A and B are shown apart, each in its own frame.
Chain A
């Protein structure tokens, strides 16, 4: 049911455009509906000293857009924000393809960040060309193993991954809390609970920007690829963004151009048929969840090595949970993850400007995001509002019961 039926004939450019339009129509309308409802909420909660209600609504969305795309720094911040969303959204997408619902991206992200930070600050004296990949791989492997366990449990015991991955989330939070707050990884000199800063050679370097002074970073000098003191080029965009784009391409290739990907999609579409064809369901479940976990782990590693440079006890801001929304928004198409993640990142980046311009609480964005999630997941509502017919073979099925 989840397979897209590929048309064997080479599609013309016009066919492709039409297919793209059809695929993007419902998500776009879902976003539009959520923004309209957001506008209604702003209309009713508009403060009286900022002009008419209509002016406030316009100013709010103008502020949101300007905050996200209005300047070079704003665009860079949006892309920085989109980076973990791309990787974590990809993680959820890969699991979707195998008929698995990975709600554990958040915990896997924590484990990845913890592992790569640990490798980043405990090992010293390695050149960047070895240290950085080592730290990234550590994050991916740790999170991959963390994700593989629920996959194995699902395949061998039938324990549903929706519950087990949530349990693994809670266990991961406690584990990270132990290591950072009271455990061996805490930087004893710091007053706030956090790990020491990673070695400069383990950082994911920024593309452009000033040198970061060593007195603020625990003695480490983080050097961007191009050093400049121009404040207009003080942007946080780091190498992790390229890694995320690369991951999108690799996953697209893996899913659509390799035998492994074919097996994953077949198991997702019809496990019985897959088993009949001689594919191992256990192998594919474990492999898919390991891959999914590794991607989420890379998202965490990117945040730790590219932005934070250490790990605090209050680390993620729900990237793992929002990634479910992004995967749904992208209709589990790896390429579509990129615009979906940038949209989500733009909402997060622009909300501060929106609040500054209109006095509307930036928490409103959380409501708009929640509405987008609802309309995207329950696209039948959108289809019903806009009278769009359901195309054939578009639905995904996860409710397969608990024991089978």
Chain B
């Protein structure tokens, strides 16, 4: 509320604002994080320890990497965090407002890198595998963020994305085990996403229910209904059919030729179908939103519905169909959970990814490319915690599992004040 009222852009070197400002807090926290990490690593890791980052040759055995980058653990961390500390001092003193988001991202990103180096001190890690994992785990978050973005750009808040994903994951999985065809499962997931989103559209656009409440209703419904389905149908069906389940998770599709390129190949061209679709959708939606009539109308309806109405754009009809279309994307994200990342359905298996997706959307300032960047930030927290559970790292696994949620909090609290949502978001439109 107060303190976050939009201040005019102050370019660096302009008038310095006094008191406790966002820049000062962010800069100070950056300095504290850098100091803590330097202190921790110098006291806990021997100076002679080396962290080896491997860049493998695709297709070749693991023990013959293309490159082997040995980094002296302590020295590398001290240099990186030292530079970040100095940058923090600059942010706190000069208050360059437009660099705050970049600085927060850098602090988080390099904190991850430091933890990775720390975890593999005296051993080696396949860096490309970590990065490929980051892209893979960004899939549901990016898709969720794109779904949220389509809704919010037209003025509808959709916090029901988490629930929509869960519904789609459950019904997609049920269709897959019933028909024995995973692709039909994906189709069912898409359809489910559309129907659930249509409910949100009906409630929030037509009945003008508060959009946050409508989204929460969908989230609660999803937990109840999918729990009923798993206990009452999925588990008994799996037990009765035993090993005869014919369907399995979507296959990996390495793109011939491209997948063999070192570094880039495994990161971008050796994935499963939904991950490819996610990468394509980021650019497609960016194009649609900023280069087509539909995109212009959507943005107009989200910013100035009254003006849009005056020039003849059917505000509520556009909003309705945008929300329904977002269900296709949430449905795809749901399919990722139960049909691509694994072939299984667990209770509440989306574990908050739908909410993290909204944070990614806000981080990306309601643009598809920015949202993808935010999703990469969050998924690297995920990838990191999964990867270093294999190493004998000092922290218990539960604390590592908190990482994505903590990062979401830090990003929301550190950056959102600068973010400006579409002007009409959350407000039902009434003619007249």
Does the CB pair A164–B396 fall under 8 Å?
no
- Is B405 part of the contact surface with A, judged by Cβ < 8 Å? yes
Residue pair B224, A160 in contact (C-beta under 8 Å): no
**With A164-B409, A178-B398 given, is the CB distance from A373 to B416 under 8 Å?**
no
Q: Give CA–CA (A403, B231) in the complex, Å.
A: 40
Complex interface: stretch among B35-43, B74-82, B352-360: B352-360
Once bound together, how far apart are the Cα atoms of A160 and B1, in whole Å?
10
Q: Are A404 and B1 in contact (CB under 8 A)?
A: yes
Known contacts A158-B1, A282-B1, A399-B426, A377 near B214 by CB under 8 Å: yes
Let me know if A164 and B412 touch, CB within 8 A: yes
Chain A contacts for B427, CB-based, 8 A: 399
Contact with A along B346-368 (1 / 0, CB 8 A): 00000110010011001000000
Contact across chains for A167 and B352 when beta carbons are under 8 A apart:
yes
Residues of B216-257 at the interface with A, using a CB-CB cut-off of 8 Å, are: 216-217, 220-221, 223-225, 227-228, 231-232
How close is A7's CB to chain B, nearest CB, in angstroms?
A: 26
CB distance from A182 to the nearest CB of B (A): 6
A377 to B203 Cα, complex, angstroms: 10
A158 adjacent to B224 (CB under 8 Å): no
Q: Which of B173-181, B204-212, B291-299 is found at the contact surface with chain A?
A: B204-212
Q: Does B286 contact A (CB under 8 A)?
A: no
CB-CB under 8 A from A325, the residues of chain B are: 220
Chain B residues lying within 8 Å of A160, measured Cβ to Cβ, are 412, 416
Counting CB contacts under 8 A, is B420 at the interface? yes
Give A162 to B408 CA distance when docked, in angstroms.
13
Contact pick for A374, options B208, B217, B362, B405, CB 8 Å: B217
- Which of A101, A167, A285 is in CB contact (< 8 Å) with B408? A167
With beta carbons under 8 angstroms apart, the residue of A155, A170, A271, A364 that contacts B405 is: A170
Report if A16 contacts B (CB, 8 A).
no
Structural contact, B414 and A157, CB atoms closer than 8 A: yes
Cβ–Cβ contact A397 & B210, under 8 A: yes
- A155 to B416, alpha carbons, bound, how many Å? 12
In the complex, are the beta carbons of B1 and A271 less than 8 A apart? yes
Q: Within the assembled complex, what's the spacing in Å between the Cα atoms of A163 and B416?
A: 12
The yes or no answer to A227 lying at the interface (CB within 8 A) is no
Is A153 interfacial (CB 8 A cutoff)? yes
User: In the complex, A400 Cα to B223 Cα: how many Å?
Assistant: 26
Within 8 A of A (CB), among B394-413: 396-399, 401-402, 405-406, 408-409, 412-413
How far is A185 from B406 in the complex, measured between Cα atoms in Å? 23
| Bound: A236/B227 CA distance, A | 28
Measured between beta carbons, the chain A residues less than 8 angstroms from B405 are 167-168, 170-171
CA distance A398 to B397 in the complex (A): 36
Q: Which of A57-107 contact B (CB under 8 A)?
A: 101, 103
DSSP majority for the B interface? helix
Question: In the complex, which residues of chain A have a beta carbon less than 8 angstroms from the beta carbon of B419?
Answer: 402-403
Contacts of B352 in A (CB 8 A): 166-167, 169-170
Known: A171-B406, A395-B210. A401 touches B399 (CB 8 A): no
Q: Is the CB of B228 within 8 A of A363?
A: yes
Q: Within 8 Å CB of A101, what residues of B? A: 212, 216
Given contacts A157-B4, A367-B228, whether A373 and B223 have CB atoms under 8 Å apart is no
Nearest chain-B residue to A398 (Cβ)? Answer: B212
| Chain B interface, number of residues (Cβ within 8 angstroms) | 54
Which of chain B's residues have a CB closer than 8 A to the CB of A164? 409, 412-413
Q: How far is the CB of B216 from chain A (nearest CB, A)?
A: 6
Inter-chain contact total with CB atoms closer than 8 Å: 167
Give complex CA distance A250, B216 in Å: 28
Cα(A163)–Cα(B362), bound, Å: 11
B5 to chain A, nearest CB (A): 8
Which residues of chain B are near A153, meaning CB under 8 Å?
A: 409, 412-413
B195 within 8 A of A: no
Residues of chain B with a CB closer than 8 A to A396's CB: 210, 213
CB distance from A171 to the nearest CB of B (A): 5
**Closest B residue by C-beta to A376:** B217
A45 to chain B, nearest CB (A): 9
Which of A133-141, A297-305, A378-386 is the interface stretch? A378-386
Interface residues in B338-393 by Cβ distance below 8 A to A read 351-352, 355, 358-359, 362
A174 cross-chain contacts in B, Cβ below 8 A: 398-399, 401-402
B416 near A399 (CB under 8 angstroms)? no
Task: Across the interface, name the chain B residue whose C-beta is closest to A101.
Answer: B212
Known: A178-B396, A369-B224, A373-B221. Contact between A163 and B216, CB under 8 A? no
The reply to whether B425 and A401 contact each other, CB–CB distance below 8 Å, is yes
Closest CB of chain A to B180's CB: distance in Å?
25
Give Cα A123 to B216, complex, Å: 40
Q: Are A282 and B412 in contact (CB under 8 A)?
A: no
Contact of A361 among B232, B412, B421, B425 (CB under 8 A): B232
A159 within 8 A of B: yes
Among A156, A182, A367, A402, max chain B CB count under 10 A is at A402
Q: Which residue of A lies closest to B1 (CB)?
A: A281
Is A17's CB within 8 Å of the partner chain B?
no
Q: Which of the residues B210, B211, B227, B417 comes within 8 Å of A158, measured between beta carbons?
A: B417
Identify the 4 closest CB pairs spanning chains A and B, nearest first.
A399-B426, A370-B224, A178-B398, A380-B207
Which A residues form the contact surface with B (CB < 8 A)? Answer: 101, 103, 153-160, 162-164, 166-171, 174-175, 177-178, 181-183, 271, 275, 281-282, 285, 318, 321, 324-325, 328, 361, 363-364, 366-367, 369-370, 373-374, 377-378, 380-381, 384, 395-404
Q: List 18 A-B contacts (CB under 8 A).
A: A157-B4, A157-B412, A159-B409, A164-B413, A167-B352, A167-B355, A170-B405, A171-B402, A174-B401, A282-B2, A364-B228, A366-B224, A373-B217, A378-B209, A403-B362, A403-B416, A403-B421, A404-B1
